[in-house]
Chain A
Amino acid sequence: MNTSVKIGNIEFKNPVTTASGTFGSGMEYAGFMDLSRLGAVTTKGVASVPWPGNPTPRIAETYGGMLNAIGLQNPGIDVFIRRDIPFLRQYDTRIIVNVVGKTIEDYCEVVERLADCDVDLLEINISCPNVKEGGIVFGQNAGRVEEITAEIKKRAKQPVIMKLSPNVTDITEMAKAAEAGGADALSLINTLTGMKIDVHRRTFALANKTGGLSGPAIKPVAVRMVYQTANAVKLPIIGMGGIRNAEDALEFIMAGATMVAVGTANFMCPTAACGVAEGIRQYMTAYGIEDINTLIGCVNDR
């Protein structure tokens, strides 16, 4: 049975990674599972300098989901290179580094610092809804998407994945812009901007007022956007949004995703990502599937 997939010329032992921001750099989860069982670990976003993030409360549960407004807190690229990359290299898994910034120059600085590092791919976060500068500011305008993609591609040594926002009128426009800018792959979706109000206190549940909605509640939106995007561009897609088991993951793969990322489900159960990888194998056995690649985009009209 072949569960390996490729993005560019990088091969992954299986199509399962983690969604940025839900898994740190894997350290906290390594006590619960062998990280080598994942196709890749996608790290929490890293910036050129440390970021302190937003005021608390930063999260709120919603029906079948959650809102977060962490604000991309991260220790900065120096600590990341010194501590997190050597940690992850102990495991037989691919490393996808999520990159954040406030300006194009910020993003490029991180990408240049990573050029000589032993990491496999870069995921560029142009879709975080919780920071005032950077993030989604780049991800909601096709011209800006193409521009930042091209600037990063000039400097990157590793394949570049652009992470797209669902908070747009037509996600395929952004996908095409990233493709035109030279992206090697796309990941989608980031969180949907949402809001929760505490009616007892008459306050916003989050200090940031708005936050990014994730979890099982958003999965149908994410599957739809992956399907649309897969039919609009030639780039491989990492699909994510509410995946908590193999059945969820297979929906994304059949919609056209080459890989899938498990995010909020890591909070629901710390071994969730491994469970998805194992569940995909079981599905393949049950249905006599020899090669996972035959499932990518295989959904048929009724």
Chain B
Amino acid sequence: MVTLENQTVVVQNTRIAEDIYSLWLQAPEIAQTAVPGQFISLYCRDGSRILPRPISICEIDRKTGRVRIVFRVVGKGTEEFSLLKSGDTIRVMGPLGNGFTFEGKKALLIGGGIGIPPMLELAKQLSCEKQVVLGYRDSTFMEEEFEPYGKVYLSTEDGSQGVKGNVLDAICYHQLKADIIYACGPIPMLRGIKEYAREHSIKAQLSLEERMACGIGACFACVCKSKEIDGHTNVKNKRICKDGPVFYAEEVEL
């Protein structure tokens, strides 16, 4: 059940790295039903910014009724969110999208850049054997938060930490094996993972991103190309906000 909460209270907002913020929201109804891989839409207060910002859920705490997002400041909207203080209120809609499907015995959780946060709640809830691969451009964040849930491997483009290169370089270097891949990150990374999964006959669930307007499946702004004709759209594309954001790699053309 999707809820629209006009007065969601900010519990805590912390800068955890350069331009990266961790925001806890008191959102009991969202926390009650949200699953890993879903997202929420956050609305700006400034009237010049009319569209909600879709941001993946990073952690869900049902007991306290809180959800956490971790986002990067990439424009004026996220800059506005970065300035939120405890006690401030914000309009939030969620949970949105489908989320990950739990399956397999040995999982690879792969996060790239700001695609890393949604992998945390998944790592917490998945009960199988887990290996976590996190890719960064240079400076790292959140990597220690994954340590309780599985062995963590890092890659950085500048080689400052972990394997120099991208997440696939780290997977190859450490010779990691799995029967299921969960991934979220930039499209070039997901494209590489899709190819890797195909070559190694591993099932892969990929979380995609696109510019969104409504966030609920009505406007057809955020579609991705699909292999087959989709049941709802009746053409070869799917709505990322509604049918996704998580798709099996073979379902979508990247």
Asked if B90 CB lies within 8 Å of chain A CBs, one says: no
Picked from B219, B222, B235, the residue with its CB within 8 Å of the CB of A56 is: B222
A interface, over-half SS: loop
Contact A59 B4 (CB under 8 A): no
Query: Which of the candidate stretches B22-30, B79-87, B150-158, B210-218 sits at the interface with the other chain?
Result: B210-218
Asked if A70 CB lies within 8 Å of chain B CBs, one says: yes
Q: How far is the CB of A5 from chain B (nearest CB, A)?
A: 25
Provide the residues of chain B in CB contact with A70, threshold 8 Å: 219-221
Query: Which of the candidate stretches A171-179, A247-255, A260-268, A288-296 sits at the interface with the other chain?
Result: A260-268
A52 and B219 in contact, given A57-B211, A216-B50, A270-B93 (Cβ under 8 angstroms): no
Classify chain A's interface size.
35 or more
A31 and B51 in contact, given A22-B218, A58-B220, A270-B216 (Cβ under 8 angstroms): no
Contact B50 A66 (CB under 8 A): yes
C-alpha spacing A60/B43, complex, angstroms: 16
- One digit per residue, 1 when the CB lies within 8 angstroms of any chain A CB and 0 when it does not, for chain B 199-218 equals 00000000000111111111
* Residues B1-47 near A (CB distance < 8 A): 1-2, 4, 43, 47
Provide the residues of chain A in CB contact with B62, threshold 8 Å: none
C-alpha spacing A59/B91, complex, angstroms: 22
State the total of A-B contacts with C-beta under 8 angstroms. Answer: 106
Picked from A23, A27, A53, the residue with its CB within 8 Å of the CB of B237 is: A53
Picked from A52, A58, A76, the residue with its CB within 8 Å of the CB of B221 is: A58
C-alpha spacing A51/B237, complex, angstroms: 11
Asked if A24 CB lies within 8 Å of chain B CBs, one says: yes
Most buried by A among B214, B218, B223: B218
Provide the residues of chain B in CB contact with A287, threshold 8 Å: none
Asked if B49 CB lies within 8 Å of chain A CBs, one says: yes
Provide the residues of chain B in CB contact with A65, threshold 8 Å: 50
Asked if B48 CB lies within 8 Å of chain A CBs, one says: yes
Asked if B232 CB lies within 8 Å of chain A CBs, one says: yes
Q: How far is the CB of B186 from chain A (nearest CB, A)?
A: 14
Provide the residues of chain A in CB contact with B236, threshold 8 Å: 52
Asked if A159 CB lies within 8 Å of chain B CBs, one says: no
Provide the residues of chain B in CB contact with A64, threshold 8 Å: 47-48, 50
C-alpha spacing A44/B221, complex, angstroms: 13
Contact B47 A75 (CB under 8 A): no
Provide the residues of chain B in CB contact with A63, threshold 8 Å: 48
Contact A267 B48 (CB under 8 A): no
A61 and B51 in contact, given A75-B235, A267-B214, A268-B43 (Cβ under 8 angstroms): yes
Picked from A76, A215, A270, A271, the residue with its CB within 8 Å of the CB of B50 is: A215
Asked if A32 CB lies within 8 Å of chain B CBs, one says: yes
Q: How far is the CB of B7 from chain A (nearest CB, A)?
A: 13
> Which residue from chain B places its CB closest to the CB of A242 in the assembled complex?
B50
- One digit per residue, 1 when the CB lies within 8 angstroms of any chain B CB and 0 when it does not, for chain A 117-150 equals 0000000000000000000000000000000000
Contact A59 B213 (CB under 8 A): yes
Contact B219 A75 (CB under 8 A): no
Contact B211 A269 (CB under 8 A): no
A266 and B234 in contact, given A22-B219, A53-B220, A73-B223 (Cβ under 8 angstroms): no
A58 and B4 in contact, given A64-B48, A269-B91 (Cβ under 8 angstroms): no
Asked if B242 CB lies within 8 Å of chain A CBs, one says: yes
Picked from A28, A75, A79, A267, the residue with its CB within 8 Å of the CB of B52 is: A267
> Which residue from chain B places its CB closest to the CB of A80 in the assembled complex?
B234
A residues near B (Cβ < 8 Å) are 21-24, 27-29, 31-32, 44, 50-53, 56-61, 63-66, 68, 70, 73, 75-76, 79, 215-216, 264, 266-271
